[in-house]
Amino acid sequence: MKTKKYESVMEMFEGGNHLLTMCAPMVRYSKLPFRSLVRKYNCDVCFTPMIVASDFVRSVKARDSEFTTNEGDRPLIVQFAAHDAQTLADATSAVAPFSDGVDLNCGCPQRWAMSAGYGACLINKPELVKDMVRQVRNQVSNPDYTASIKIRIHTDLRRTVDLCQKAEAAGVSWITVHGRTSEERHQPVHYDAIKTIKDSVSIPVIANGDVKYQRDVDAIRQRTGADGVMVARGLLANPALFAGYEDTPLECVWDWVDISTQQGTPFTCFHNHLIYMLDRVSSQPERKVFNSLSSTSAVIDYLQTTYGAVQDVVT
């Protein structure tokens, strides 16, 4: 593996006024081809989809299917779901040579995850979170390798502040805060809560939730004082969001076609990403036709006929 040509993630935080931009961990979507795409459009740091640490440690098949990367896929944070310290540390050891940090999922509100002891239920177990962070720190010798957590907030924000301060004391590198409780889905994000957390710790805090446009990034920075912004659905709709585009530019659409075909992306994933990208820029009849396409060649023919080649736009 070649020597890295960029600063460590923590040095990126310390670099001054630059607000770090991050692609969130998204099941099925934030895989290598999509990470490759958003990196072309000013995304600083990418996360893998959430990986269940126990499966990853136990199964070679799980490791091969869940974790794929390449030399250009950096800085990369691997997110794990775990509920015991040694399993998380063992999973981290396996990916540490190929990534820049590991993140513990303490925010997934899905029922299956919480019933298994993963995700958002961990915000109610600060001592366990501390143990997991410490074990990762003890087991990975690289001082530049980061250990972070991604959380949701409590209704009683004092409990969230306590969790974050305990994680900081255990050596967590940074904290991503999704500004909703475990029960909230589409309610407004509590940006004031993110600001309170930022003011309560001395480590970097990343704001997450409801970023759809570049202007949202700027507004959230002003409201929270966060050191970075993490985006999920907003990047699905517009992978060029961090480059300042209001909607997905045609150049980005063709970049996705190139990247996904070169990397052998399965058709369903290839098509679904385009459905998201074209949603805001196409009419309902156009969407109906596009969504019904069933092969890569049909999709490419449709794009060329409907939108033209990228050269027609950029020249």
Which is nearest to 85 in space by CA: 134, 36, 118? 134
Evaluate if residue 115 carries a pLDDT over 70: yes
**Domains contained in the chain, CATH given:** 9-243 (3.20.20.70), 250-314 (no CATH)
Which is nearest to 182 in space by CA: 106, 93, 292, 267? 106
In this structure, what token pair is assigned to residue 275? 């459905």
Evaluate if residue 315 carries a pLDDT over 50: no
The whole-number pLDDT of residue 62 equals 85
Q: Are 209 and 193 in contact (CB under 8 A)?
A: no
The whole-number pLDDT of residue 7 equals 64
Mean confidence (pLDDT) of the chain: 93
Residue 157 DSSP symbol: H
Helix locations, 171-213, DSSP H: 191-200
How many Å apart are CA 45 and CA 76, to the nearest integer?
Answer: 6
Q: How much is the average pLDDT of 77-104?
A: 97
Which is nearest to 209 in space by CA: 201, 226, 54? 226
Q: Are 242 and 214 in contact (CB under 8 A)?
A: yes
Evaluate if residue 249 carries a pLDDT over 50: yes
Q: Catalytic residue numbers?
A: 108
The whole-number pLDDT of residue 313 equals 40
Question: pLDDT tens across 252-262, in order?
Answer: 999 999 999 99
Q: How much is the average pLDDT of 178-196?
A: 94
Q: 270 to each of 2, 120, 282, how far by Cα in Å? A: 29, 30, 18
pTM for the whole thing?
0.94
Model confidence at 185, pLDDT cuts 50, 70, 90, reads confident
The whole-number pLDDT of residue 310 equals 55
Question: pLDDT tens across 287-304, in order?
Answer: 999 999 999 999 999 999
The whole-number pLDDT of residue 55 equals 94
For residue 112, the Cα-to-chain-centroid distance in whole angstroms is 20
Q: Which residues pair with residue 45 across a beta bridge?
A: 22
Dihedral angle computed from the Cα positions of residues 204, 207, 213 and 214, in that order, rounded to the nearest 10 degrees: -20
Q: Which residues pair with residue 207 across a beta bridge?
A: 177, 229
Residue 120 DSSP symbol: G
Q: Are 47 and 31 in contact (CB under 8 A)?
A: no
Evaluate if residue 6 carries a pLDDT over 90: no
Look up tokens 């049909």; give the residue: 298
Evaluate if residue 117 carries a pLDDT over 90: yes
The whole-number pLDDT of residue 18 equals 79
Q: Are 123 and 164 in contact (CB under 8 A)?
A: no
